[in-house]
Structure 1
Amino acid sequence: CLSCLLVLIAWKRMNKAGKLPPGPTPIPFLGNLLQVRTDATFQSFMKVSEKYGPLFTVYMGLWPVVVLCGHEAVKEALIDQADEFSGRGKLASIEQNFQGHGVALANGERWRILRRLSLTIFWDFRMGKRSIEERIQDEASYLLEEFRKTKGAPIDPTFLLSCSVSNIIGSVVFGSCFDYEDKQFLNLLRLINESFIEMSTPWAQSSCLFPQLYDMYSGIMQYLPGRHNRVYYLIEELKDFIASRVKINEASFDPQNPRDFIDCFLIKMHQ
């Protein structure tokens, strides 16, 4: 009786989603996970689109997901109807870290304010004393020197290119570049890379596929042992690093002479 009741609740939950594009028939609790493999999501979606067209609905567990396939469908949604599709979905695996804050994860008016502020700051840097273009040129020269040190030997350039791009971003955000062997810089790269890797693991994907379960029990699950906690602690380390850099800026803060993104953000916040 309990199993039948749970199946009935799940079925009603799926049928309350309103008018959605057509798609494969979901199974209670599992949804369309039999048709959409988490280890081959793109290929699965393309196969479904062959039958249902460029716009279709699949259920990831109990949650309906509307999928857009193809250039025209994506262009119509993200460009022609940008305001309607500008919202950000919640990722249960990192929601406990950010709680809707940040340019990438905020929604509504908060997102619009942060986006406008960020664009204004980057525009000021483009026109300021030391433009982003100059920072890129300096970093490119440093990167060439690192390549010359190899004396033409075969290398994997991934590490050097990652350092170069990260340093450009770091110079804008933190106001200074790092040496490629700097321990603090290498630790920052490690945290970023491992965070993306953890969010791509099957567990992280499953936490996004079942956000109700994760949200309901996140207060308990974060204290339980397991791989699912790793991304939380990695992002917390990143937040601690950024907080430490903000404190450094505050100690020598001059509102008349902003040095980086953090300074500009502090100026806008104090206004």
Structure 2
Amino acid sequence: MGRSLQDPDHCPCLVTSCSWIPTSPILPFASPTTMLGTALVLLLVYFFSSLDQDCGKEPPGPRPLPLLGNILQLDPHKPHNTLCKLSKKYGSVFTVYFGPKKVVVLAGYTTVKQALINQAQEFGEREIAPVFMDINQGHGILFANGDSWKEMRHFALTNLRDFGMGKKAAEEKIIQECQYLIQEFEKYEGKAFDTKHLLNYAASNMISSIVYGIRFEYNDPQFQAMVDRINENIHLAGTAPIQLYNMFPWLGSWIKSWRMLMKNIKMNVRETRDVIRHLKETLNPHMCRGIVDSFLIRKQKEENSGVLDSHYHEENLIVTVNNLFAAGTDTTGTTLRWSLLLMAKYPHIQDQVQEELSRVIGNRQVVVEDRKNLPFTDAVIHETQRLASVTPIAIPHITSQDVTFQGYFIKKGTTVYPLLISVLNDESEWESPHTFNPAHFLDENGKFVRNNGFMPFSAGRRVCVGESLARMELFLFFTSLLQRFRFTPPPGVTEEELDLTPAEGFNLCPAPHQLCAVKQF
């Protein structure tokens, strides 16, 4: 038997009643108090009337408050934690309200896979929150829809492959960057330091070499400022004030985090425009240095051919470049930080990685082809991605049409949150989901095995365009560093005292910490 329609958790719209709607006209000389009260009543009417009336078909969820929705029930710093707890009560498909906005949350491997892969068309559009509309204006590849998004995504994928993603050319660039990174680590001579900046600079240089065809020195102040702003923007985008802005955009000018974010974006756009201008001045159509050159050549051809409504314009180029830098810098750099922190936290795992590297590789440079002969090391990298769950909630989707999903009716235009952390911690897929256990990716013979629940890059139409590049970077950077350094806590800190609690932000980063990189030979 289904739930009674009188269950308030299941059917919040039943608290509405037309008997309390004012029927007398508002006098033009009504007092401010009366006008404010009337406005509040009208807002309440709007809120409740916006709730679907056919409640029996909707995904269940906690009862929302007028205007506020369920935000008082959500942890503003770590909403994914609250959503995981709610999934235990309401199931793998449930509804929450972020302010007045309705959101359907998808939890667990089976449900997320069914939506993003099996019903990719219905769940494949991007929900663009106000802050991301402010930043991207509907351009680029991360926060866009329609023909422009399709064209920019296809262009980005094609050119990432053309410029080496998943190929020998990219491998050689990463190996070269590994040497620069090792030299920077060696400068600390085994003393404690924060790995954050150097790892982010290394990851960002890989994107730069593919997008611009150039790399930057780690001590270049312009490069440092650009990378630091990227990291700060991603942190700000996940903070409680920005989430509040997304619910109530009219608060923008009063929110300090929003003002800081907009200031950073303006500076990034200005610097990106300057680099593009320089590349345009030195453009050689017969020798592409990177993705920007390819875009400029395509733009020039379409202009010469008189193509109308071309997607190859400067706004799309700037946003696409910044999308690639943000995605390619923060997530890869953050995952590498987690990997080194976990090695220092669990020295017996580090011992096994270094033993395998020494036995199979020796002192020579690791190459991608070695991955198949390093099953334990590969398992450690995958387990780091799983446990860290750097992107706990996939960038929100929106339904492209009315859809019936697992017996529930979800209207066209409904925001959907695929809860990736619930997939990476799904108890039906992982033996010990909340512990660091590389055996999740090893069979009884110690050979590497993939797991269906491994979904750190999301899935379906919106899967990360740089997945192949990121996987190559993680493998080569991690193995190169572990070949040369032993990672330990700073003096006076034990392994047990190393904190694995992530910091607040759009992505889950390690809390600020220092490590010692002790040279092995």
Matched, 1:194 2:213: no
Contact 1:7/1:29 (<8 A) preserved: yes
Alignment of 1:108-187 (within 5 A): 108-126=146-164, 131-187=169-225
Contact 2:241/2:255 (<8 A) preserved: no
Q: Which amino acid aligns with 1:251?
A: E
Aligned-residue offset at 1:85 = 1.9
Contact 1:36/1:44 (<8 A) preserved: yes
Q: Aligned partners of 1:127 and 1:57: how far apart in 2?
A: 39
Contact 1:94/1:231 (<8 A) preserved: no
Q: For the structure 1 residues 244 and 71, does the alpha-carbon distance in structure 2 shift closer, same or farther, using more than 3 Å as the test?
A: same
Q: For the structure 1 residues 162 and 109, does the alpha-carbon distance in structure 2 shift closer, same or farther, using more than 3 Å as the test?
A: same
Matching residue within 40, 44, 62 for 1:7: 44
Aligned-residue offset at 1:16 = 6.4
Alignment of 1:78-97 (within 5 A): 78-97=116-135
Q: Aligned partners of 2:143 and 2:53: how far apart in 1?
A: 26
Map Cα deviations across residues 169-221 of structure 1 (whole Å, 9 max, x no partner): 1111121111111111111112111211221222111112x1xx41xx48xx4
Structure 1 stretch 177-186 or stretch 192-201: which is displaced more?
Answer: 192-201
Map Cα deviations across residues 219-248 of structure 1 (whole Å, 9 max, x no partner): xx44x6744211111111111111111100
Contact 1:17/1:64 (<8 A) preserved: no
Which structure's CA Rg is the greater one?
Answer: 2
Contact 2:59/2:94 (<8 A) preserved: yes
Alignment of 1:164-243 (within 5 A): 164-208=202-246, 210=247, 213-214=248-249, 217=250, 221-222=252-253, 226-243=256-273
SS at match of 2:192: coil
Aligned length: 263
Q: Aligned partners of 1:132 and 1:81: how far apart in 2?
A: 33
Matched, 1:250 2:280: yes
The higher relative CO (CA closer than 8 Å, separation ≥ 6) is in: 2
Matched, 1:40 2:78: yes
Structure 1 stretch 126-135 or stretch 136-145: which is displaced more?
Answer: 126-135
Q: Aligned partners of 1:58 and 1:181: how far apart in 2?
A: 46
Residue number in structure 1 paired with 2:108: 70
Q: Aligned partners of 2:267 and 2:165: how far apart in 1?
A: 33
Aligned CA RMSD, in angstroms, stands at: 2.3
Q: Which amino acid aligns with 1:137?
A: I
Q: Aligned partners of 1:45 and 1:16: how far apart in 2?
A: 24
What's the TM-score once normalised by structure 1's chain length?
Answer: 0.89
Aligned-residue offset at 1:128 = 12
SS at match of 1:37: coil
SS at match of 1:232: helix
SS at match of 2:216: coil
Aligned-residue offset at 1:72 = 1.5
Contact 1:14/1:62 (<8 A) preserved: no
Q: For the structure 1 residues 10 and 190, does the alpha-carbon distance in structure 2 shift closer, same or farther, using more than 3 Å as the test?
A: same
Matched, 1:266 2:304: no
Q: Aligned partners of 1:92 and 1:175: how far apart in 2?
A: 33
- Structure having the higher helix fraction is 1
Aligned-residue offset at 1:150 = 2.4
What's the TM-score once normalised by structure 2's chain length?
Answer: 0.48
Map Cα deviations across residues 246-271 of structure 1 (whole Å, 9 max, x no partner): 10011011111000110011122223
Q: Which amino acid aligns with 1:9?
A: Y
Residue number in structure 2 paired with 1:60: 98
Contact 1:10/1:28 (<8 A) preserved: yes
Q: Aligned partners of 1:71 and 1:142: how far apart in 2?
A: 39
Map Cα deviations across residues 23-46 of structure 1 (whole Å, 9 max, x no partner): 112111011123222223122112
> Percent same amino acid among aligned pairs?
35
Contact 1:173/1:262 (<8 A) preserved: yes
